[in-house]
Amino acid sequence: MTVLLTACGYQFRVEGAGPTIGRAPATSSQEPPPRLVIRTLLNGSFEPNLETRYTNYLREEFSTGSGAQIVSDSEAADLVLTGQILSVMVPTLSFSTTATLESRTEVVVLARVEDVRLGKVVWSQVVKGSSEFFITPDLQFNRALQNRALEQAGRFVAADLAARFLLQLETGALTKQASAVPAPVSH
């Protein structure tokens, strides 16, 4: 790709892919990405119907940003992600009869990845996501704002987990965990 800007007398040319910002160029691995099944999260909170939405957020984030290939439960997989929504809290941040009220949703999720072949958990992570929203005199609108904040917190959790999983994958920590299984002793 060549970019040429001549109206002001300067010429800029870029050839090739250009520089990489933020980290070294990715090395091409000869191994295929691990196949990962993401099972529906368990909901340990009092907030109903979050498990399906949060599981979908995880599938979206992991399919684009985790370095794994997401497969269905019926396909052969190398790894299985299970998890639980541990808590959902909605504390009020500011309270006054004359001021604007602000609240926050805080969500805590536990995720575990098990190596199917070994039957061993190779990665476990607890992540917290939060999102703020304003409280209005309209209770129905407040619930809509709270639901939107719950959605945003869930998306933050999913993105955080996918990024942490990718880091484990890129550093080889998952394969180190899997290979740390002691060999069977023969008598």
Residue type at 120 in one-letter notation: K
Helix residue ranges per DSSP H, 91-138: none
3-state secondary structure of 87: strand
Domain positions in the chain are: 35-174
The pLDDT tens digits for 34-88 are 999 999 999 999 999 999 999 999 999 999 988 899 999 888 899 999 999 999 9
Cα angle: 68, vertex 71, 77; to 5 degrees? 80
pTM of the model: 0.75
Is 3.30.160.150 the CATH classification of the domain at 35-174?
yes
